[in-house]
Structure 1
Amino acid sequence: MDDELLRGLVPATISALCRRGADFASVEDAVQDALIKALESWPDSPPNDPLAWLITASWRRFLDQVRATDARRSRELRVTEQPEFSTPTGTDESLQLYFLCANPKLTNSSAVALTLRAVGGLTTKQIADAYLVPEATMAQRISRAKRQLRDTRLDSPGDLATVLRVLYLVFNEGYGGSIDLSAEAIRLTRQLASLTTEPEVRGLLALMLLHHARRASRTDSSGRLVPLRAQDRSRWDTELIVEGIAILQHALAADRLGEYQAQAAIAALHADAQRVEETDWVQIVSWYDELLAITNSPVVQLNRAIALGEADGARVGLAALAAVDPTVPRHTAAAAYLHEKAGDLAESAALYTEAAHKATNTKERDHLLREGARLHEVL
């Protein structure tokens, strides 16, 4: 059985039941129960029409829930217990399901978890495994999110920027447990790109593909972090790079630049360089200028300062970095790199050690400590 195909049926199933008057929270629970039943029974007895099977099984489970709690709606549900379901054509409903799960009422973690369940079709256990938390903890998080959305309808206006932010949060979680969240985010973003012509969706998809193409080279055989400038570029996935650049070009042709398109353009310039020395830093700085105009983000300011250091020299980069809020994450690490590039080895070594103490994960901390130790050896 194709698990990805099965998960892809979940949004259409939820949308079909919601259109028939059922509330989202109850429907989502019913679909999850039906999904588990499908995973158990389909390998031995696959249905002729998987979507119709999942809709029917979910609807029956929903009706069982209604009977068990004696909580029938005051309005009459528009279908009978065993309806003849037609396959939903509803790309609009599927798109609204993205919007519903990325509702601004929800915290980032709740929106991500609900998106993975309702749009991605993952079980609570799979999501919990991916985030390395107990299943009960994840179940509570999802239940809380659904309670917050109890009175929200699928026809409510959605915010595409919020949807894209949630998908990017999923992508950046990377790999955990039995589910590769980066790959799952790419799958969901591909699906979203098929539902809308907005260029920022394609910009995000291109960005994900270009980042994912470098995945194999980001750590060495010992699991240690390898910075971009030191990565083995022969390990980059050229097919993903070619696809990402083509999608980006399609997005840019719409002439409605957004932050994900600008980020993807920067990633494409890195991917286009066969050697680090061939990187077009002047163009990268120009794209950071575009990105800064869109976001006014201090993180973008910091990355632009590093790019300036590569394009125009370390002292220029340090001058730009001085204008960035020093509390911005990785500010000290950026200063350490630029001071090393400028030849200030003692200052750089001290800053690498300081940056290591501020690091938020073990791999980054260990990398910064190694960089500091490397410089101390030559002083």
Structure 2
Amino acid sequence: MEIQQIHKHYLANPIVCTDTRKITKGCIFFALKGDNFNGNKYASEALEKGARLAIVDEQEFAKSNQYILVDDVLNTLQELAQFHRKQSKAQIIGLTGSNGKTTTKELIHSVISKKYKTIATKGNLNNHIGVPLTLLSIKADTEMAIIEMGANHQKEIEFLCSIAQPDFGYITNFGKAHLEGFGGVEGIIKGKSELYHYLTENKKAVFLNADDPIQLNKLGSYIKKYGFSTQNKDYYIIDFLGATPFVQLQLENLKIHTNLIGSYNFTNCAAAALIGKYFNVPLEKIKEALEEYTPNNNRSQILEKGSHQIILDAYNANPTSMKAALENFQQMEGNTKIVFLGDMFELGESAKKEHQEIADLVKEMNYQQSFLVGENFAATNTTIHQFKTFDSLSENWTTLKLEENCLILIKGSRGMALERILDLL
């Protein structure tokens, strides 16, 4: 069956599903495959639960005219999303980078939705499956779509751009994330820049942080670029007023007080403000949007537990974001500061060196108490408390003898799930 025909079926009830636990009546079920599952085996269950059609790629499961047999279900999902995107009048902003993608995406969404009917990537559905699913959530009246694009190897952003075909794009930064897949920092710069390459080749517009020399180097001669800066008057000036602990910035004559901690979040706010300004969102509405946004899902959250104030940043971590979080924590006011750090994943051959550098930095900062959790941190040469696993930390919790009224930083990669420390406090 041609993609156009599948798209007609989709338009009749524009809901797609890849999980039989989330079937809604009249949806189209895509029987995706993974390393440990075969969605074809669940197609009949999807139909029984109310799906109207099931897209499968194995003949034995195509049992009636409710099944559509294709060569590859994933390819079909991606082709359908690309076709749907071409039919849509929505303007698409593509977003990638090493750190801050999801926060920046949510800030942009908050700002742009003050004026336009806007959709954005849900959570971190930013890969070869998540991007198509986001595109397929674009409705007939959608005016703007913010599409987050994640990548851990070369050519991945290029591929996602071919599906989403963004009209605009922004790269948050180039940090030490997914070093293993990209092959080092230069590989990261090359891989993330695939978004800018797509936009320049297709004569689309680029948003940039003009205080980032890498971005300026990549886009210096490009005409359709719109940047923000704290000092370069060739670009839109946005002043950083500080982060004690919450980020404050000034947009023309307006001072904005956000709910985001850490100076590293200034550029995320500034990018959203710049993009709002470009799309003629009134300044007062930009201020309102940035001040309304509250981080969640373990990203730079400020919480209280007992007598402790906690900075919970356990959604993800890499050497760049870990260093930024520690430097920000050092500047925060607090009598007794405690740090819990978990391993950083996907660093490949750089893992030993990068973990040692963070352990040395923590030692140099001389917090009242510091704890390193995970196999990589446990292998570092340091006098800081080390635990090879979270279970080991938990088992020894009563021996840590934490003081009352502490300011605590918790940060680690998602796989470490260090938010579990909250249950121990």
What's the TM-score, normalizing by structure 2?
0.32
What's the TM-score, normalizing by structure 1?
0.34
Answer 1 or 2: which has greater strand percent: 2
